[in-house]
Structure formats: structure tokens, C-alpha cells
């Protein structure tokens, strides 16, 4: 079984991409999640997160902003490619199936 759950902060505002597949216009949402390691305060891991589910894309586009703490659940995908300099590059990303806010609702009167 390939299932991961991460809680971290968005490093930037999400990116929404539009593309064509089988004659249909589709969207995907991409964002980077900074996840601190529990056993040390000096280390943080960064994970690229991607979702193609229309409901998830719409939620990300409407609500996710840089700095928010979110919880994501999905599958870890790994791949590799050879760059222009001939070096093998390994990649990993989370294919998000479920996502939600990890912080409570902000008090609108406080700053």
C-alpha cells in the first residue's frame, strides 16, 4: 500500500495549470509543502504536491495561500530523468487525494 499523510505549511501560493487531454480542458493544482521533522527542529523536508481532482483543484484555487498549515493525504510517486547536462535526477511528489486546513479558523478581529 502506498499512502502518505503530511502536515506542513505552504511555501508559496499554489499554481493552477490548465491543459488539454482527450479534447477536454483540465486543471491541476501544484504546491510545495514544508514539513518539519519531529525529531529535530533544525530539519525541514519539502514535498511537491499535485492534484488533478476537480473538487480539490477548485478548493486549492479558492482557499490555499502561502504560509497556511494544511494536511494532505495521498500517494508518493517517484520518477527519474536525465537533465541537459547528462545527470540523472530523481524526483518525488505527493499525488493528493484529500486535503484540508490544519489550523483553526482565524479570528477576524485579531491581527
What's the rounded Cα separation, in Å, for the pair 72 and 98?
6
Q: What is the pTM of this model?
A: 0.83
3-7 average pLDDT score: 95
β-strand pairing of 15-21 with 24-36: antiparallel
Give the side-chain half-sphere CA count within 13 A for 46. Answer: 6
Band of pLDDT at residue 103, cut at 50, 70 and 90: confident
Band of pLDDT at residue 97, cut at 50, 70 and 90: very high
Each residue's pLDDT tens digit, 43-85 = 999 999 999 999 999 999 999 999 999 999 999 999 999 999 9
Q: What is the pLDDT of residue 41?
A: 74
Q: Quote the mean pLDDT of the chain.
A: 91
Q: How is 5-58 classified by DSSP, letter by letter?
A: EEEEEESS--EEEEEEETTEEEEEEEEEEEEE-TT-TT-EEEEEEEE--HHHHH
Closest CA to 55 of 29, 74, 30: 29
Amino acid at each position: 500500500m502506498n499512502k502518505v499523510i503530511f502536515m506542513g505549511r505552504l511555501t508559496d501560493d499554489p499554481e493552477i495549470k490548465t491543459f488539454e487531454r482527450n479534447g477536454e480542458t483540465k486543471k491541476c493544482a501544484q504546491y510545495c509543502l514544508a514539513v518539519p521533522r519531529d525529531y529535530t527542529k533544525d530539519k525541514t523536508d519539502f514535498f511537491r504536491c499535485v492534484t488533478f481532482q476537480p473538487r480539490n483543484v477548485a478548493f486549492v484555487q479558492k482557499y490555499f495561500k502561502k504560509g497556511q498549515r494544511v494536511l494532505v493525504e495521498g500517494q508518493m510517486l517517484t520518477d527519474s530523468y536525465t537533465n541537459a547536462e547528462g545527470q540523472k535526477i530523481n524526483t518525488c511528489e505527493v499525488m493528493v487525494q484529500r486535503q484540508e486546513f490544519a489550523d483553526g479558523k482565524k479570528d477576524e478581529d485579531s491581527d
